[in-house]
């Protein structure tokens, strides 16, 4: 049996994908959560724990080599699980897409994680992690850029219950405001009722699609964390945003791995002066693909393939081009000029 990795929130939608990925890659997956009945259904040895009970978390992480937190909203779970990981002196990775929760992780734990030598990587998932890896790869030998644009071309977006709950927490924290990264900082503002629509020229075969501007995702936290880019903007395909707002249906599995039929293209463009660089990722099912992202991160931390210590985003912690190559065939990555 390989190294043991605890998965907090293992019976959630993304957590199940993570458990499967760990097992397939030879890790010892240890499901952890509050509900023993749901844990039993995973047919693996498990431990019961809650963020409201630090002693239970300490017991759950005893003897394991790392922990992946898949339990949202991360505004409620991240701090407690990170505290337990620091006490146990084991790496922590999560799949948080919540902007504020990721900011909290960097703000609250950067110093302590560095002092204890524990690697903490938030947003190691489709939102936040993948965009950061793509932007870091696009930057190449540049030490700074003027702008980074991350456009999400999702064929649809049927959110999980966790996504809906996390969105509600974020809206409450923002108190009706919107957030963007401009002028080198996060800015909260009261915007127009409707987000602006623009046409984005995705690479073939997706082509031109209508996207919402200022549809701000976790990339505005992860990318400027380590890249000198004062303007980071994210966009979402209108069809996917409409699905998300309706929140009428959860993802439906259409294959033996439990993946949905959803496809995605993530188009990242960085600009410095008149020069643009572009890196594009494509694949299937944003929740399923978060599993290889998180598990690859844990594997690299455990075998020492890291570029820094303490709290860091994906592109800061890892060799981004090499990391992206390792994700094939789950994610296809191409480089190319603007259309």
Residues 282-320: pLDDT tens digits? Answer: 999 999 999 999 999 999 999 999 999 999 999 999 999
Answer whether 0.95 is exceeded by the pTM.
yes
Q: What is the mean predicted confidence (pLDDT) over 85-91?
A: 98
Q: Are residues 255 and 204 in the same domain?
A: yes
Q: Is the pLDDT of residue 336 over 80?
A: no
- Tell me: the pLDDT tens digits for 271-289? 999 999 999 999 999 999 9
Distance CA 299, CA 297 (A): 5
Q: Are residues 201 and 269 in the same domain?
A: yes
- Tell me: the pLDDT tens digits for 134-150? 999 999 999 999 999 99
Q: Is the pLDDT of residue 61 over 80?
A: yes
Q: What is the mean predicted confidence (pLDDT) over 323-333?
A: 97
Q: Are residues 51 and 153 in the same domain?
A: no
The reported pLDDT for the residue numbered 215 is 96
Are the beta carbons of 12 and 160 closer than 8 angstroms? yes
Q: Is the dihedral of CA 51, 219, 258, 18 positive or negative?
A: negative
The reported pLDDT for the residue numbered 176 is 84
Residue 190 belongs to what domain range? 126-286+330-335
The reported pLDDT for the residue numbered 338 is 65
- Tell me: the pLDDT tens digits for 93-128? 999 999 999 999 999 999 999 999 999 999 999 999
Q: Are residues 148 and 252 in the same domain?
A: yes
Q: Is the peptide bond before 17 cis (omega within 30 degrees of 0)?
A: no
CATH number of the domain that residue 306 is part of: 3.40.50.720
The answer as to whether 251 is a domain residue is: yes
Q: Are residues 159 and 92 in the same domain?
A: no
Residue appearing with tokens 């458990």: 19
Confidence of residue 339 (pLDDT cuts 50, 70, 90): low
Q: Are residues 170 and 116 in the same domain?
A: no
Are the beta carbons of 128 and 217 closer than 8 angstroms? yes
Q: Are residues 20 and 119 in the same domain?
A: yes
CATH number of the domain that residue 167 is part of: 3.30.360.10
- Tell me: the pLDDT tens digits for 168-218? 999 899 998 999 999 999 999 987 678 999 999 999 899 999 999 999 999
Q: What is the mean predicted confidence (pLDDT) over 64-92?
A: 98
The reported pLDDT for the residue numbered 128 is 98
The answer as to whether 323 is a domain residue is: no
The answer as to whether 322 is a domain residue is: no
Distance CA 180, CA 178 (A): 7
Distance CA 12, CA 182 (A): 34
Q: Are residues 11 and 75 in the same domain?
A: yes
Distance CA 115, CA 311 (A): 11
The answer as to whether 324 is a domain residue is: no
Q: Are residues 140 and 274 in the same domain?
A: yes
The reported pLDDT for the residue numbered 258 is 96
The reported pLDDT for the residue numbered 232 is 98
Q: Is the dihedral of CA 95, 100, 101, 105 positive or negative?
A: positive
The answer as to whether 325 is a domain residue is: no
Would you say how long the chain is, in residues?
Answer: 339
Residue appearing with tokens 């009945």: 37
Q: Is the pLDDT of residue 337 over 80?
A: no
Q: Are residues 41 and 94 in the same domain?
A: yes
The answer as to whether 24 is a domain residue is: yes
Q: Are residues 130 and 279 in the same domain?
A: yes
Q: Are residues 58 and 170 in the same domain?
A: no
Distance CA 34, CA 227 (A): 38
The answer as to whether 106 is a domain residue is: yes
The encoded tokens of residue 176 equal: 């009706």
The reported pLDDT for the residue numbered 228 is 98
What rounded mean pLDDT belongs to the chain? 96
The CA–CA distances, whole Å, from 165 to 19, 147, 160, 214, 226 equal 22, 31, 9, 21, 29
Counting the structural domains of the chain, the total is 2
């Amino acid at each position: 049996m390989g190294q043991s990795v605890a998965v907090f929130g293992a019976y959630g939608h993304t957590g199940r994908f993570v458990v499967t990925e760990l097992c397939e890659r030879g890790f010892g997956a240890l499901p952890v959560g509050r509900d023993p009945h749901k844990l039993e259904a995973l047919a693996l040895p498990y431990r019961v724990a809650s963020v409201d009970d630090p002693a239970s978390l300490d017991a759950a992480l005893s003897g394991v080599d790392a922990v992946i937190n898949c339990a949202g909203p991360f505004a409620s779970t991240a701090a407690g699980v990170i505290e337990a990981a620091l006490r146990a002196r084991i790496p922590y990775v999560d799949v948080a897409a919540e902007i504020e929760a990721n900011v909290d992780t960097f703000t609250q734990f950067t110093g302590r994680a560095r002092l204890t030598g524990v690697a903490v990587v938030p947003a190691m998932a489709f939102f936040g992690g993948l965009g950061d890896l793509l932007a870091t790869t696009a930057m190449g030998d540049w030490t700074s850029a003027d702008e980074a644009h991350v456009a999400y071309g999702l064929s649809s977006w049927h959110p999980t219950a966790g996504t809906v709950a996390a969105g509600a927490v974020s809206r409450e924290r923002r108190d009706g405001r919107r957030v963007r990264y401009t002028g080198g900082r996060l800015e909260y503002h009261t915007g127009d009722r409707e987000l602006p629509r623009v046409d984005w020229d995705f690479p073939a075969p997706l082509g031109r699609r209508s996207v919402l501007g200022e549809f701000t995702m976790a990339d505005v936290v992860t990318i400027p964390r380590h890249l000198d880019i004062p303007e980071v903007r994210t966009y979402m395909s209108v069809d996917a945003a409409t699905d998300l707002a309706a929140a009428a249906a959860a993802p439906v599995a259409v294959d033996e791995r439990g993946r949905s039929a959803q496809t995605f293209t993530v188009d990242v463009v960085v600009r410095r002066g008149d020069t643009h660089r572009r890196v594009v990722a494509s694949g299937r099912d944003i929740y399923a693909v978060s599993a290889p992202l998180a598990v690859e991160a844990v594997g690299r931390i455990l075998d020492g393939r890291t570029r820094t210590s303490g709290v860091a985003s994906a592109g800061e912690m890892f060799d981004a081009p090499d990391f992206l190559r390792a994700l094939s065939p789950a994610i296809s990555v191409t480089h190319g000029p603007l259309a």
